[in-house]
Structure 1
Amino acid sequence: MSNESIENKFKIFSLNGNVPLAEKIAEVCGVSLGKSTVKHFSDGEIAINIEETVRGYDVYLVQSTNDPVNDNYMELLIMIDAMKRASAKTVNVVLPYYGYARQDRTAKPHEPITAKLIANLLTDAGANRILTLDLHTVQVQGFFDIPVDNLFTMPLFAHYYRKRGMVGEDYVVVSPKNSGVTRARSLAEYLDTTIAIVDEEEADNPETGYVIGDVKGKTCIMVDDILNTGIVFVEASKTLMKEGAKEVVACASHGLLSTPAKELLDQTEIKDICVTDSVSVPEERHPDKLSIISCGELLGLGVKRIYNNQSVSPLFTMEPKNYE
């Protein structure tokens, strides 16, 4: 389908969460971002104005829900409502990072399941479909009663490491916690390596960690979905080096880089830290060893496939060079 016909059928709008990524997604789709304004009043209220017609259009709203999480979610909910009232044909939400996804169960008595609450809010506001990236747990898809497409970042990281020749028996993919084994195994299959796990004997004392698997003399590639304060990576890297690892690199789908991530990661022996641009973080919070790869093409192609009623499943496993 030509870009001209696409322009006549759907529009992409960005909120404040991650404008640079929204621009990349729009570029992949061959359109310009729709015109709108998002204002925050002094008392915290949010006002949104759509500055072009959306009547009869399939609309895609791009919003990452990282810090400030609650403001970003309110922007998104208000924009969904605005689009419905402006007679958009469908309202599709592109969530590169799904805030509150970690609160997906009652780990302790009387806790909320906030990931489910967010799913209800998005659906009740009027969203028709969700396109997201590397949910904390894939089961969160089941919290929605509308279609959810959850794309994966492991092919992006596989492409990143393959270009650097980091494949084969001299490398090992490591999950820095025992809950991330599935993710580590997925990346290891791309890189033709073994896997290892850093386990903690005491949950409140990461210094008691030990390694399940062989890392001696190998370069360890740690992989996680969320890089928040960096403590998990820092302590896991110490354990890996203690167990004889040659060197350690790390990657994470969503680089939240909350305080004190930069300070901690700049002091570690981790040689390279790779994240996607699923969230937008000020440069002053970037660790010195940070590399950023874009998920814009992946999400853009996801938008195009959804609009054209094509399967998105080829995007689950293909590396960037094989997308088209």
Structure 2
Amino acid sequence: MALQLASHKLDEATCCFMTGSSNPELSREILDKLGVPAKETLQVKRFADGEIYVKIMDTVRGKDVYVIQSTSPPVNDNLMELLLVVSTARRASAKRITAIIPYYGYARQDRKVDSRTPISAADVAKMIEAMGVDRVVSVDLHCGQIQGFFSPTVPMDNLESHIVALDWMMPNIKFSSKVSVVSPDAGGVYRAKKFQEAMMSRGIPNPGLAMLIKHRSRPNQIEKMDLVGAVEGCDCLIIDDIVDTAGTLCEAARQLRLNGATRVVAFITHGLFSGPAVQRITDSELETVVVTNSIVGLNDEKVKACPKIQSVSIGGLLAGAIHSIQYKQSISALWGSKKAAKAPCGALPEKEAPACQAGSMPKAGSPMQEE
């Protein structure tokens, strides 16, 4: 079910795009999918002392403004840039501001893990909301409850990327008749179950469901993993939202092979690939690791050189979400609701699209967080 966007006529009177410096390639792809020509509407500079300066180059008064900016590494710089762009658009009398945040930084700090520690994911939500945003869109949040960190007046859409993953995996990874979908921790079981259901809808008969329970001796150090579910003789597909240093992922693959898995592949939405991640994946039992292009780190030479790492794009998914918001249509239809089962995912209706104006892409200048 490929994501398809129809061409459409543009009118600059209604909406405007502000594209931050966190992921220029993804921003360009989103605009291209929408048929929006590049136009310099946002200038981002970094002063010698590290301060960030933003300037909106054209009027946004009375317009729907879409700010595309991940809060990926460097997390704090990209977050500050997002906050300044949103506040600048609000001060410039934008009608409505939607923040498109493919990767939501600080998402793993979603609860207090000890006395006198913050809930940083909630604090970031409050900061974004305080700057004047009207709506937030992200992809595969670490936990869905983050949507509740925003007030009811600021809805947050959590897009599911499994459809674009399966579009690539079905023709490229030849699954056997025995498949098991695996969550590498207890918290990700719901995500794995959603992927299992999506695989069944693609004709894979009765894929199993399993999970691994981690036991840590200290932060960032896994002592052992317990397997819940049967994987012997199965092609195992690990599903998770973030791969950071790849410790959890590679240990999960090792445990699955020890328990009789025929082979192990993985789909991880957000590829941070910090520190030893690429080398760990190279040396691991993993056959293939599929990630999305939500984070610009995929351009790192070490990542590009690793034959096990493959990338799929969420540009069409995000473009479809923007279109649905502008036209006040269902966003859940993008990943295959029953109502939209016959329509191509992300397809635009046969009518003129919202007026859009694009900005150019400026140059970039928790203790238990192991993934």
What TM-score do you get using the length of structure 2 for normalisation? 0.82
Kindly tell me the number of residue pairs found equivalent between the two proteins: 324
- How far the C-alpha of 1:259 sits from its partner, in A, is 1.0
Contact 1:12–1:34 (Cα < 8 Å) also in 2: no
Letter in 1 for 2:345: N
Aligned position for 1:194: 208
Aligned position for 1:231: 247
Aligned position for 1:9: 14
**Whole-angstrom CA distance in 2 between matches of 1:229 and 1:272:** 16
Q: Could you say what the CA RMSD is over the residues aligned between the two structures, in angstroms?
A: 2.0
SS in 2 for 1:87: coil
Which deviations, in whole Å up to 9, do the C-alpha atoms of 1:24-59 show, x marking residues without a partner? 111122212442211111101111122222222111
Letter in 2 for 1:298: L
Contact 2:186–2:212 (Cα < 8 Å) also in 1: yes
- Please show how residues 1-324 of structure 1 align to structure 2 within 5 Å: 3-35=8-40, 36-145=42-151, 146-164=154-172, 166=174, 169-192=177-200, 193-202=207-216, 204=218, 206=222, 208-281=224-297, 282-286=299-303, 287-317=306-336, 322-324=345-347
SS in 1 for 2:172: coil
SS in 2 for 1:187: helix
Q: Which has the higher contact order (CA 8 A, sep 6+)?
A: 2
**Whole-angstrom CA distance in 2 between matches of 1:201 and 1:150:** 29
**Whole-angstrom CA distance in 1 between matches of 2:245 and 2:60:** 40
Which deviations, in whole Å up to 9, do the C-alpha atoms of 1:143-164 show, x marking residues without a partner? 1121111111122222222223
- How far the C-alpha of 1:201 sits from its partner, in A, is 4.5
The worse-fitting range, judged by mean Cα deviation, of 52-61 and 93-102 is 52-61
**Whole-angstrom CA distance in 1 between matches of 2:230 and 2:138:** 34
**Whole-angstrom CA distance in 2 between matches of 1:37 and 1:202:** 45
Contact 2:107–2:146 (Cα < 8 Å) also in 1: yes
SS in 2 for 1:4: coil
**Whole-angstrom CA distance in 2 between matches of 1:168 and 1:288:** 22
- How far the C-alpha of 1:87 sits from its partner, in A, is 2.0
- How far the C-alpha of 1:128 sits from its partner, in A, is 1.0
Contact 2:175–2:235 (Cα < 8 Å) also in 1: no
- How far the C-alpha of 1:273 sits from its partner, in A, is 0.6
**Whole-angstrom CA distance in 2 between matches of 1:208 and 1:239:** 9
- How far the C-alpha of 1:249 sits from its partner, in A, is 0.7
- How far the C-alpha of 1:169 sits from its partner, in A, is 3.8
Contact 1:207–1:235 (Cα < 8 Å) also in 2: no
**Whole-angstrom CA distance in 2 between matches of 1:97 and 1:105:** 18
Q: Which runs of 5+ in 1 are unaligned?
A: none
Q: Percent identity?
A: 35
Contact 1:14–1:34 (Cα < 8 Å) also in 2: no
**Whole-angstrom CA distance in 1 between matches of 2:320 and 2:178:** 34
Letter in 2 for 1:206: I
Letter in 2 for 1:125: M
- How far the C-alpha of 1:202 sits from its partner, in A, is 4.6
